[in-house]
Amino acid sequence: MEFREATPQERMRYYHEEWDPSDVPRFITDSIEEREFAFDHNGQGYNDRYNAFHNVHELETKMKTLNPYAVCASTAYYERPQQREGWTRAELVFDIDAKDQPVRSCDCEPGSICETCLEEGKELALTIMDTLRDDFAIRDMYMAYSGRGYHIHVLDENVLPLENRSAILEYVMGAVMPTDFQMMGGYARTWRRMLAVIISKMDEKDLSFLTSPVATSVIEHRPTILRNLEARKADFLNVPGVGKTSRDKFLERCMELNGQTVDGKVTIDTKRILRLPSTLHSKISMICMLVDDPETFDPLSKAVPRFVEER
Ligand SMILES: [Zn+2]
Protein backbone atom coordinates (compact mmCIF):
# COMPACT_ATOMS: atom_id res chain seq x y z
CA MET A 1 0.00 0.00 0.00
CA GLU A 2 1.12 3.52 -0.77
CA PHE A 3 1.17 5.86 2.24
CA ARG A 4 0.51 9.19 0.51
CA GLU A 5 -0.53 12.52 1.98
CA ALA A 6 -4.24 13.39 1.78
CA THR A 7 -5.21 16.40 -0.34
CA PRO A 8 -7.59 19.07 1.07
CA GLN A 9 -10.34 17.62 -1.16
CA GLU A 10 -9.74 14.12 0.23
CA ARG A 11 -9.88 15.45 3.79
CA MET A 12 -13.21 17.13 3.00
CA ARG A 13 -14.56 13.88 1.57
CA TYR A 14 -13.45 11.99 4.65
CA TYR A 15 -15.02 14.37 7.18
CA HIS A 16 -18.25 14.84 5.22
CA GLU A 17 -18.87 11.35 3.88
CA GLU A 18 -17.09 8.93 6.15
CA TRP A 19 -16.30 10.35 9.61
CA ASP A 20 -19.10 9.83 12.08
CA PRO A 21 -19.26 11.48 15.53
CA SER A 22 -20.27 8.10 16.96
CA ASP A 23 -16.78 6.84 16.03
CA VAL A 24 -15.24 9.14 18.65
CA PRO A 25 -14.61 6.79 21.60
CA ARG A 26 -16.96 6.89 24.55
CA PHE A 27 -14.05 7.51 26.92
CA ILE A 28 -13.54 10.83 25.14
CA THR A 29 -17.18 11.87 24.68
CA ASP A 30 -18.05 11.01 28.31
CA SER A 31 -15.50 13.60 29.46
CA ILE A 32 -15.60 15.92 26.46
CA GLU A 33 -16.28 19.03 28.56
CA GLU A 34 -13.07 18.48 30.53
CA ARG A 35 -10.72 18.02 27.60
CA GLU A 36 -8.74 20.40 25.46
CA PHE A 37 -8.81 19.82 21.69
CA ALA A 38 -6.08 20.85 19.28
CA PHE A 39 -6.33 21.22 15.52
CA ASP A 40 -3.73 21.23 12.80
CA HIS A 41 -5.45 23.02 9.93
CA ASN A 42 -3.04 22.33 7.10
CA GLY A 43 -0.08 20.24 8.19
CA GLN A 44 1.83 23.15 9.77
CA GLY A 45 1.33 21.90 13.34
CA TYR A 46 -1.22 22.10 16.14
CA ASN A 47 -1.56 25.88 16.12
CA ASP A 48 -5.25 25.93 16.99
CA ARG A 49 -5.21 25.01 20.69
CA TYR A 50 -7.43 25.75 23.70
CA ASN A 51 -10.61 24.43 22.07
CA ALA A 52 -13.30 23.10 24.38
CA PHE A 53 -16.67 21.57 23.51
CA HIS A 54 -19.81 20.91 25.49
CA ASN A 55 -20.82 17.93 23.40
CA VAL A 56 -19.85 15.91 20.38
CA HIS A 57 -22.15 17.93 18.09
CA GLU A 58 -20.12 21.06 18.69
CA LEU A 59 -17.04 19.05 17.81
CA GLU A 60 -18.78 17.77 14.69
CA THR A 61 -19.54 21.33 13.53
CA LYS A 62 -15.87 22.28 13.91
CA MET A 63 -14.71 19.13 12.09
CA LYS A 64 -17.02 19.68 9.13
CA THR A 65 -16.11 23.34 8.84
CA LEU A 66 -12.39 22.77 9.08
CA ASN A 67 -11.76 19.35 7.46
CA PRO A 68 -8.60 19.36 9.59
CA TYR A 69 -5.24 17.92 8.70
CA ALA A 70 -5.00 16.43 12.21
CA VAL A 71 -6.88 16.53 15.51
CA CYS A 72 -5.73 15.80 19.06
CA ALA A 73 -7.49 15.63 22.40
CA SER A 74 -5.78 16.19 25.72
CA THR A 75 -5.06 13.13 27.80
CA ALA A 76 -5.55 15.52 30.74
CA TYR A 77 -8.85 16.58 32.23
CA TYR A 78 -9.23 20.23 33.21
CA GLU A 79 -11.79 22.31 35.09
CA ARG A 80 -11.25 25.00 32.44
CA PRO A 81 -9.94 23.24 29.31
CA GLN A 82 -10.29 26.39 27.18
CA GLN A 83 -7.55 27.92 29.37
CA ARG A 84 -5.80 24.61 30.06
CA GLU A 85 -6.25 25.34 33.76
CA GLY A 86 -7.48 23.36 36.76
CA TRP A 87 -5.77 20.03 35.95
CA THR A 88 -7.63 17.27 37.78
CA ARG A 89 -6.26 14.01 36.30
CA ALA A 90 -4.87 12.46 33.13
CA GLU A 91 -5.00 9.19 31.25
CA LEU A 92 -1.88 7.06 31.52
CA VAL A 93 -0.73 6.65 27.93
CA PHE A 94 1.85 4.66 26.02
CA ASP A 95 2.85 5.74 22.52
CA ILE A 96 4.31 2.99 20.34
CA ASP A 97 5.43 4.41 17.03
CA ALA A 98 6.26 1.67 14.50
CA LYS A 99 8.52 4.00 12.52
CA ASP A 100 10.68 4.84 15.57
CA GLN A 101 11.28 1.32 16.85
CA PRO A 102 14.98 0.81 17.69
CA VAL A 103 14.78 -2.79 16.44
CA ARG A 104 12.59 -3.96 13.56
CA SER A 105 12.81 -7.23 11.70
CA CYS A 106 11.78 -5.59 8.38
CA ASP A 107 13.96 -3.55 6.04
CA CYS A 108 12.09 -0.25 6.43
CA GLU A 109 14.08 2.95 6.12
CA PRO A 110 13.96 5.20 9.22
CA GLY A 111 10.61 6.98 9.20
CA SER A 112 8.87 4.39 7.01
CA ILE A 113 6.44 1.68 7.98
CA CYS A 114 5.26 -1.62 6.52
CA GLU A 115 2.93 -4.43 7.46
CA THR A 116 5.66 -6.21 9.42
CA CYS A 117 6.69 -3.34 11.69
CA LEU A 118 3.04 -2.38 12.28
CA GLU A 119 2.41 -5.95 13.39
CA GLU A 120 5.45 -5.83 15.67
CA GLY A 121 4.15 -2.56 17.13
CA LYS A 122 0.86 -4.29 17.91
CA GLU A 123 2.65 -7.22 19.58
CA LEU A 124 4.53 -4.78 21.79
CA ALA A 125 1.29 -2.94 22.68
CA LEU A 126 -0.33 -6.26 23.62
CA THR A 127 2.66 -7.19 25.80
CA ILE A 128 2.46 -3.85 27.62
CA MET A 129 -1.29 -4.32 28.14
CA ASP A 130 -0.62 -7.81 29.60
CA THR A 131 1.73 -6.24 32.13
CA LEU A 132 -0.75 -3.51 33.04
CA ARG A 133 -3.46 -6.14 33.50
CA ASP A 134 -1.33 -8.71 35.40
CA ASP A 135 0.82 -6.49 37.61
CA PHE A 136 -1.25 -3.31 38.04
CA ALA A 137 -4.72 -4.96 37.95
CA ILE A 138 -5.79 -2.46 35.31
CA ARG A 139 -9.01 -3.27 33.47
CA ASP A 140 -10.16 0.07 32.08
CA MET A 141 -7.88 0.56 29.08
CA TYR A 142 -8.09 0.91 25.32
CA MET A 143 -5.84 0.35 22.37
CA ALA A 144 -5.96 2.76 19.45
CA TYR A 145 -4.28 2.51 16.07
CA SER A 146 -2.52 5.86 15.72
CA GLY A 147 -1.85 5.77 11.98
CA ARG A 148 1.78 4.74 12.32
CA GLY A 149 1.67 2.65 15.47
CA TYR A 150 -0.44 2.16 18.57
CA HIS A 151 -1.55 4.15 21.59
CA ILE A 152 -2.62 2.61 24.88
CA HIS A 153 -5.02 4.74 26.93
CA VAL A 154 -5.41 3.72 30.59
CA LEU A 155 -8.44 5.22 32.33
CA ASP A 156 -8.33 3.32 35.60
CA GLU A 157 -9.54 5.51 38.46
CA ASN A 158 -6.50 4.60 40.58
CA VAL A 159 -4.07 5.71 37.91
CA LEU A 160 -5.65 8.92 36.59
CA PRO A 161 -4.66 11.18 39.53
CA LEU A 162 -0.99 10.08 39.55
CA GLU A 163 1.36 12.91 38.67
CA ASN A 164 4.65 11.00 38.69
CA ARG A 165 4.60 8.23 36.11
CA SER A 166 8.28 7.54 35.54
CA ALA A 167 8.37 4.51 37.89
CA ILE A 168 5.42 2.89 36.06
CA LEU A 169 7.13 3.55 32.74
CA GLU A 170 10.41 1.98 33.88
CA TYR A 171 8.59 -1.06 35.24
CA VAL A 172 6.40 -1.65 32.20
CA MET A 173 9.31 -1.31 29.75
CA GLY A 174 11.49 -3.81 31.63
CA ALA A 175 14.30 -1.30 31.38
CA VAL A 176 16.10 -2.21 34.62
CA MET A 177 17.58 -5.51 35.81
CA PRO A 178 15.36 -7.39 38.29
CA THR A 179 16.98 -8.53 41.53
CA ASP A 180 15.96 -12.10 40.72
CA PHE A 181 14.84 -12.63 37.14
CA GLN A 182 13.79 -16.24 37.83
CA MET A 183 10.85 -15.26 40.02
CA MET A 184 7.58 -16.63 38.69
CA GLY A 185 5.58 -13.39 38.53
CA GLY A 186 5.79 -9.67 39.13
CA TYR A 187 8.54 -7.56 37.64
CA ALA A 188 10.73 -10.58 36.80
CA ARG A 189 8.02 -11.87 34.49
CA THR A 190 7.60 -8.47 32.85
CA TRP A 191 11.34 -8.22 32.32
CA ARG A 192 11.48 -11.67 30.71
CA ARG A 193 8.50 -10.88 28.47
CA MET A 194 10.04 -7.64 27.24
CA LEU A 195 13.43 -9.27 26.74
CA ALA A 196 11.82 -12.00 24.64
CA VAL A 197 10.03 -9.38 22.51
CA ILE A 198 13.26 -7.54 21.67
CA ILE A 199 15.41 -10.66 21.18
CA SER A 200 12.91 -12.17 18.76
CA LYS A 201 13.22 -9.11 16.45
CA MET A 202 17.01 -8.73 16.40
CA ASP A 203 19.30 -9.53 13.55
CA GLU A 204 23.09 -9.31 13.30
CA LYS A 205 23.11 -5.57 12.54
CA ASP A 206 21.35 -4.93 15.86
CA LEU A 207 24.14 -6.86 17.59
CA SER A 208 27.03 -4.92 16.05
CA PHE A 209 28.21 -4.01 19.58
CA LEU A 210 29.25 -7.66 19.96
CA THR A 211 32.04 -9.30 17.98
CA SER A 212 30.81 -10.89 14.80
CA PRO A 213 31.19 -14.57 15.91
CA VAL A 214 29.31 -13.81 19.15
CA ALA A 215 26.50 -12.01 17.27
CA THR A 216 26.24 -14.93 14.84
CA SER A 217 26.03 -17.42 17.70
CA VAL A 218 23.28 -15.41 19.45
CA ILE A 219 21.18 -15.31 16.25
CA GLU A 220 21.84 -18.96 15.50
CA HIS A 221 20.85 -20.06 19.01
CA ARG A 222 17.99 -17.61 19.41
CA PRO A 223 15.28 -20.33 19.62
CA THR A 224 17.22 -21.99 22.48
CA ILE A 225 17.72 -18.66 24.26
CA LEU A 226 14.00 -17.84 24.02
CA ARG A 227 13.04 -21.33 25.25
CA ASN A 228 15.50 -21.06 28.16
CA LEU A 229 14.13 -17.65 29.07
CA GLU A 230 10.58 -18.93 29.05
CA ALA A 231 11.68 -21.85 31.26
CA ARG A 232 13.33 -19.30 33.67
CA LYS A 233 16.74 -20.96 33.38
CA ALA A 234 19.51 -19.15 35.26
CA ASP A 235 21.93 -19.65 32.38
CA PHE A 236 19.48 -18.86 29.59
CA LEU A 237 22.20 -17.06 27.60
CA ASN A 238 24.66 -19.90 27.88
CA VAL A 239 25.21 -20.73 24.21
CA PRO A 240 28.49 -21.56 22.43
CA GLY A 241 30.90 -18.65 22.13
CA VAL A 242 29.01 -16.27 24.42
CA GLY A 243 31.01 -15.50 27.57
CA LYS A 244 30.15 -13.49 30.63
CA THR A 245 31.31 -10.13 29.25
CA SER A 246 29.23 -10.58 26.09
CA ARG A 247 26.23 -11.71 28.14
CA ASP A 248 26.37 -8.61 30.34
CA LYS A 249 26.79 -6.33 27.34
CA PHE A 250 23.94 -8.03 25.53
CA LEU A 251 21.49 -7.73 28.43
CA GLU A 252 22.40 -4.13 29.07
CA ARG A 253 21.83 -3.28 25.41
CA CYS A 254 18.48 -5.14 25.31
CA MET A 255 17.20 -3.20 28.34
CA GLU A 256 18.37 0.06 26.81
CA LEU A 257 16.56 -0.78 23.56
CA ASN A 258 13.39 -1.76 25.42
CA GLY A 259 13.44 1.64 27.08
CA GLN A 260 13.32 3.21 23.60
CA THR A 261 10.35 1.25 22.25
CA VAL A 262 7.79 3.71 23.60
CA ASP A 263 8.05 7.49 23.59
CA GLY A 264 8.64 7.93 27.32
CA LYS A 265 7.98 11.68 27.18
CA VAL A 266 4.36 10.97 26.22
CA THR A 267 3.84 8.70 29.25
CA ILE A 268 5.49 11.05 31.74
CA ASP A 269 3.88 14.27 30.52
CA THR A 270 0.46 14.54 32.17
CA LYS A 271 -0.58 17.50 30.00
CA ARG A 272 -0.13 15.81 26.66
CA ILE A 273 -2.35 15.95 23.61
CA LEU A 274 -2.80 12.75 21.62
CA ARG A 275 -4.32 12.06 18.21
CA LEU A 276 -8.10 11.66 18.47
CA PRO A 277 -9.36 8.21 17.41
CA SER A 278 -11.76 8.46 14.42
CA THR A 279 -9.73 11.26 12.78
CA LEU A 280 -7.50 11.20 9.75
CA HIS A 281 -3.71 10.91 9.87
CA SER A 282 -3.39 13.03 6.73
CA LYS A 283 0.35 12.61 6.24
CA ILE A 284 -0.18 8.95 5.32
CA SER A 285 -3.95 8.90 4.69
CA MET A 286 -4.92 6.41 7.37
CA ILE A 287 -7.57 6.55 10.07
CA CYS A 288 -6.59 6.74 13.72
CA MET A 289 -9.11 4.43 15.37
CA LEU A 290 -10.04 2.45 18.42
CA VAL A 291 -9.03 -1.22 18.14
CA ASP A 292 -11.92 -3.44 19.19
CA ASP A 293 -10.27 -6.80 18.78
CA PRO A 294 -6.48 -6.47 18.89
CA GLU A 295 -5.89 -10.12 17.96
CA THR A 296 -7.52 -9.74 14.56
CA PHE A 297 -7.05 -6.01 13.90
CA ASP A 298 -5.33 -5.33 10.59
CA PRO A 299 -4.80 -1.60 9.92
CA LEU A 300 -4.31 -2.17 6.21
CA SER A 301 -7.86 -3.44 5.90
CA LYS A 302 -9.61 -1.53 8.72
CA ALA A 303 -7.96 1.91 8.88
CA VAL A 304 -7.90 2.81 5.19
CA PRO A 305 -10.30 5.61 4.21
CA ARG A 306 -12.54 5.10 1.19
CA PHE A 307 -10.80 7.82 -0.83
CA VAL A 308 -7.58 5.78 -0.70
CA GLU A 309 -9.34 2.65 -1.95
CA GLU A 310 -10.67 4.71 -4.85
CA ARG A 311 -7.44 6.47 -5.75
ZN1 LIG B 1 8.70 -2.09 8.35
Q: pLDDT tens digit string along 4-15? A: 999 999 999 999
Q: What protein residues have CB closer than 5 angstroms to ion ligand 1?
A: 106, 108, 114, 116-117
User: Do 187 and 214 share a domain, yes or no?
Assistant: yes
User: Do 121 and 248 share a domain, yes or no?
Assistant: yes
| pLDDT value of position 141 | 97
Q: pLDDT tens digit string along 158-214? A: 999 999 999 999 999 999 999 999 999 999 999 999 999 999 999 999 999 999 999
Domain with 59, as residue range(s), is: 8-91+270-309
Catalytic residue among 95, 156, 180, 292: 95
| pLDDT value of position 208 | 95
User: Based on the structure, what is the number of domains in the chain?
Assistant: 2
Cα angle for residues 287, 289, 293 (degrees, 5° grid): 130
| pLDDT value of position 54 | 98
How far apart are the CA of 70 and the centre of ligand 1, in A? 23
Q: Which residues contact 163 (CB under 8 A, 6 or more apart)?
A: 270
Residue 199 host element (H or E) = helix 186-201
Mean pLDDT of the chain: 96
User: Do 62 and 201 share a domain, yes or no?
Assistant: no
User: Do 181 and 120 share a domain, yes or no?
Assistant: yes
Check pLDDT > 90 for residue 311.
no
Q: pLDDT tens digit string along 87-96? A: 999 999 999 9
Check pLDDT > 80 for residue 258.
yes
| pLDDT value of position 2 | 73
Q: How far is CA 259 from CA 65, 103, 133, 174, 248, in A?
A: 41, 12, 20, 7, 17
Assess if residue 148 is contained within a domain. no
Q: pLDDT tens digit string along 118-158? A: 999 999 999 999 999 999 999 999 999 999 999 999 999 99
The C-alpha atoms of residue 307 and residue 124 are separated, in whole angstroms, by 30
pTM of the model as a whole: 0.95
The C-alpha atoms of residue 112 and residue 274 are separated, in whole angstroms, by 20
Q: Confirm whether 298 is a catalytic residue.
A: no
Assess if residue 275 is contained within a domain. yes
Q: pLDDT tens digit string along 32-85? A: 999 999 999 999 999 999 999 999 999 999 999 999 999 999 999 999 999 999
User: Do 200 and 302 share a domain, yes or no?
Assistant: no
User: Do 180 and 223 share a domain, yes or no?
Assistant: yes
Catalytic residue among 23, 40, 140, 263: 263
User: Do 111 and 180 share a domain, yes or no?
Assistant: yes
> Of 222, 238, 259, which residue constitutes the final position of a domain?
259
Q: Which residues contact 212 (CB under 8 A, 6 or more apart)?
A: 204
User: Do 244 and 297 share a domain, yes or no?
Assistant: no
Q: Confirm whether 263 is a catalytic residue.
A: yes
Q: Confirm whether 95 is a catalytic residue.
A: yes
User: Do 228 and 280 share a domain, yes or no?
Assistant: no
